[in-house]
Amino acid sequence: MQSFRTELENPVVEKDIIELEKKIRLFREGQIPEEKFRSLRLARGIYGQRQPGVQMIRIKLPYGKMTLEQWKRMSDVSDEYSTGNLHLTTRQDIQIHFVSLEKTPELWTKLDLDDITIREACGNTVRNITASDKAGIDPAEPFDITPYADAAFRYFLRNPVCQDMGRKFKIAFSSSDADTAWAFMHDIGVIPKIREINGQQVRGFKVMIGGGLGAQPYLAHIAYEFLEADQLIPYIETVLRVFDRNGERASRHKARMKFLIQKLGFEEFSRLVEEERLANKVKTFHVDADVWEEPELPAADAVLPAYTIKDPKKYEIWKATNAFRQKQADYYAAYVRVPLGNISSVISRQIIEGLKPAIGNDVRVTANQGLLLKYILPAHLPYVFSVLETAGFAEPGFDSVADITACPGTDTCNLAISSSTGIATALELVIQEEFPDLVYNKDIKIKISGCMNSCGQHGIAAIGFHGSSVKSGGKVLPALQVLLGGGIVGDGVGRVADKVIKVPSKRGPDVLRSLLNDYEANAQESEKFNDYYDRQGEKYFYDLLKPLTDLTTLQNDDFIDWGQGDKFATAIGVGECASVVIDLVATLLFEGEEKLQSSIVALESNQFADSIYHSYSTFIQTAKALLLGEGVNCNTQTGIINDFDKHFIETGKWPIDGGFKELVLQINQHEPSESFAKAYHKQAADFYQQAHALRQQPSAEVPAS
C-alpha cells in the first residue's frame, strides 16, 4: 500500500490510515484479539455487516454537508470499492456496503483527497454531529448554527476525552425553536437563542441533555435555558469527561448517558460536570461566525442547457411541497426525496453534472434520508426539477406522509429482526394509490426500524413501526410493533410514541389504511394527527387495530418477510453500535502502553490537556488490567479507581501515599499546564512500569511508589 500514501496531504490523516493498515495486518496475523480489533475499526467507521466477510463503511459528514466535489468523490469510491450505491442515513452520514476490510485504508485515502473522513463515524465516540438541514437559510433561525456545529465537530474529532467511552454520544444543533434536529432526543441537543445582556444582543443556546431513542426512549433534561455561545464547547467537554469516567461499560444496554443521569440524578450529574471545569482544555471557545465561508453560489447570468419538463402538473406539486424561499430573499431551496435513502453513483454523477450551474456548492443530507439543494434562483427552479425528473428523483411530497423513513433493516444490519425497506415500499405504495392528497400533509411522519433500537426513528414518529416476531402453531413469523403519537412539539419539547399493538408484518399496509381512514373520517376540522390520537386515547387505537392481530386467519405468505423468498427466521447477529468491553489483561496493559505513548506525543506537541488525558487513561487501563488479574471486574472508571484502592492500596499490595484515587484524580485539581502535564505523565509512566514488572514476574513484590 506504499503507493497511495504519497497522495495524502494531511499528516494526521496519514498517520490514522497507516495505523489502520498496520492493525489490519496484525489482526490477520492473530496478534490482535478480535474484540480489540472490532473496537479499533469501529472508531474508524468500519462496521461489520450481516453478511460475513464484508464491511459497511460509514462516511462522516458533519451536519450533513457535502460539496458537489465530495459527493462525486464518494460516488467514485463506491464504484471502486463497493456496489455503486450511496445510502443516506438518519444521522446525515453516507454509508457504502460490501467493502473488503483490506481495502479500507486505500478507500479512506481516496476520500481524504476531498477532505472526507470516516474517523469516529462508529464506535464509542462522539458520532456525527447532526443539525437542521435548513441551517444558514432558515427564515426562522435567530442566527446560523452551522459555524458552531462545525467547530464542535472539529474540536471533538480525535479528542482524547471521547475516543473510547462506555457508549456512543450524539449531539444535535437545531436551527430554530421548530427543533427540526430533535434536540430533545440527543445526549446533547441545542437550540439557538439571542438575549440582550448589558444592552448587547448576545448569542447563546438552550441546552438539552440526556435524551435518547433506542429501546427505552428518554426525553432530555434542560441543562440551560441560555448558555452563551462561547461556553458551549467547554460545557460539552466537561459532560464528556463525566460520561467517560462514570458511564457504564459492562452492560452496553445501560451504557448511554441517559442511564447515567437516571442513576446519579440530574443534580449530582450537574455537580460532577461543574467539578470538571478546571481540567478543561479551554474555558471559553469563541467561534468567529462572521468570517464563516459561504458556499460558492451559482452565477446570476449562468447559461443553462436546454431542457423540457415532461410532467408540468407534477412540477407544480413538487414546487409546492419540496421547494421553499430561503431567508436570502433572492433564492429558493429544494428538497429531493431519496426513496429509502438509496441513490446510485451513476445517478449521483448525472445529477451533480446537471445541477452545477444552478445550485450553491453546499448540499445537505437530511435527517429523513433525503437531500437539500440550496441557493437556486427562482428562474432556475424549473431547470432543477427537469434535472431531477430525468434522473428519476423528482417525486413531490418531501417529508410528507408519503416520504417514509426506514433503516436498512435485514438488508445488511446484524441487529435487525425483520425487513424495514420492504414494508416501507409497501406503505408508500398504499399512500400513492389510495391517499394521493396526503403528499401535502407534513404533519404525520411515518418511520420504520428493523428492530427496537430506533435507527429509523420510529420512537418519535406519529406512526411508527419496528421489526419484531410472533409465534403461531410453533412457527415464527415476522411482525411489526405499531407505535403512535410521537413527534416534535417545539423548543426542546418532544413526544415519545406509545407502543400500541403488534401485528404480522404482512398486515402493515392494513394498519396504515385503518389509521388513515379513521383519521380522515373522525378527526375534527384542522385537527392534527397527534391531537386526534390524544383525544381518542391509546385504548381506542388498540381496539381499532386489534382485528389485525388475529392469527387464526394466517396465510402461507404471512410467514415470509417483505422482499424475501424464504420462510422467516430470526437471525440476529452481534450488534456493533458500540465497541465490546475487553477483559483481557495483556490487551489492557497494551492499551495502557499505547495511551502512555500518546501522552508523550501530545507533550512534545505542547498539547498539555491532551497529554494529561492520555496519562489519565494509562492509569485507568493499567489498573483495570491488574484488578482483572485478581478476578475483580469493574464496569466504570470510577469503580476501577475505588476498587484499586480497596484491593491493592488498603491491602498493602501496592503502597501509594494518599491512595490511588487521590493520585489519579489530580486531573480535576489542576489547570492543564505544562508543569502538571509533565509531572502527571511521569507518575502514569511509573505506575505502568510497575504494573508491567508485576505482570512479567507475578511472584515478585510490587516496588514501593
Contacts of the segment 524-532: beta carbons below 8 A, 24+ positions apart: 528/443, 529/443, 529/444, 529/462, 529/463, 530/443, 530/462, 530/485, 530/486, 530/487, 530/495
Is residue 340 within 8 A of residue 421, CB to CB? The reply is yes
**Per mean pLDDT, which range of 61-65, 418-422, 648-652 is the poorest?**
418-422
Q: Is residue 582 over pLDDT 50?
A: no
Confidence of residue 1 (pLDDT cuts 50, 70, 90): very low
Cell of 520: 380522515
pTM (2 d.p.): 0.91
Domains and CATH numbers, the chain: 2-112 (3.90.480.20), 130-291 (3.30.413.10), 312-391 (3.90.480.10), 405-559 (3.30.413.10), 585-696 (1.20.120.330)
Interval 390-401: pLDDT, tens = 999 999 999 999
The helix/strand/coil state of 176 is coil
pLDDT of residue 294: 84
Averaged pLDDT, 330-355 = 97
Q: Is residue 703 over pLDDT 70?
A: no
Q: Is residue 367 over pLDDT 50?
A: yes
pLDDT of residue 701: 46
CB-based burial, 205-243: b 16+ in 10 Å, e otherwise: bbbbbbbbbbebbbbbbebbeebbbbbbbbbbbbbbbbb
Interval 259-290: pLDDT, tens = 999 999 999 999 999 999 999 999 999 999 98
pLDDT of residue 589: 85
pLDDT of residue 569: 58
CA distance 181 to 159: 24
pLDDT of residue 187: 98
- pLDDT > 70: percent of the chain: 94
pLDDT of residue 2: 36
Averaged pLDDT, 139-164 = 96
Q: Is residue 566 over pLDDT 70?
A: no
- The region, left, alpha or beta by phi > 0 then psi within -120 to 50, assigned to residue 652 is left
- The region, left, alpha or beta by phi > 0 then psi within -120 to 50, assigned to residue 12 is alpha
Pairing of strands 55-59, 46-48: antiparallel
pLDDT of residue 572: 47
| Helix residue ranges, H only, 283-357 | 312-322, 345-355
Averaged pLDDT, 315-340 = 96
| Amino acid letter for position 636 | T
Mean pLDDT of the chain: 91
Cell of 527: 385537527
**Per mean pLDDT, which range of 144-153, 573-582, 645-654 is the poorest?**
573-582
Other Cβ atoms within 10 Å of 303 Cβ, number:
6
CB-based burial, 366-385: b 16+ in 10 Å, e otherwise: bbbbbbbbbbbbeebbbbbb
Q: Is residue 340 over pLDDT 50?
A: yes
Confidence of residue 581 (pLDDT cuts 50, 70, 90): very low
Averaged pLDDT, 536-544 = 98
Sign of CA dihedral 353, 325, 142, 462: negative
**Per mean pLDDT, which range of 371-380, 455-464, 540-549, 611-620 is the poorest?**
455-464
Q: What is the DSSP string of 380-421?
A: GHHHHHHHHHHHT---S-TTSTTS-EE--GGGT-SS--S-SH
Beta strands in 219-340 (DSSP E): 221-228, 323-325, 332-336
- The region, left, alpha or beta by phi > 0 then psi within -120 to 50, assigned to residue 563 is left
pLDDT of residue 33: 81
Averaged pLDDT, 128-136 = 98
- The region, left, alpha or beta by phi > 0 then psi within -120 to 50, assigned to residue 36 is alpha
CA distance 338 to 405: 10
pLDDT of residue 570: 57
Averaged pLDDT, 172-190 = 97
> Of 69, 114, 138, nearest to 374 (Cα)?
138
Residue with cell 498539555: 608
pLDDT of residue 8: 53
Averaged pLDDT, 572-581 = 44
Interval 39-50: pLDDT, tens = 889 889 999 887
pLDDT of residue 568: 58
Interval 678-688: pLDDT, tens = 999 999 999 99
Q: Is residue 68 over pLDDT 80?
A: yes
Averaged pLDDT, 300-327 = 95
Longest dimension (CA), the chain: 85
CA distance 665 to 624: 16
Interval 282-302: pLDDT, tens = 999 999 998 888 899 998 888
Confidence of residue 583 (pLDDT cuts 50, 70, 90): very low
Q: Is residue 573 over pLDDT 50?
A: no
Averaged pLDDT, 98-120 = 95
Angle in degrees, CA 371, 375, 380, rounded to 5:
95
Averaged pLDDT, 183-192 = 98
pLDDT of residue 57: 96
Q: Is residue 642 over pLDDT 80?
A: yes
Q: Is residue 575 over pLDDT 60?
A: no
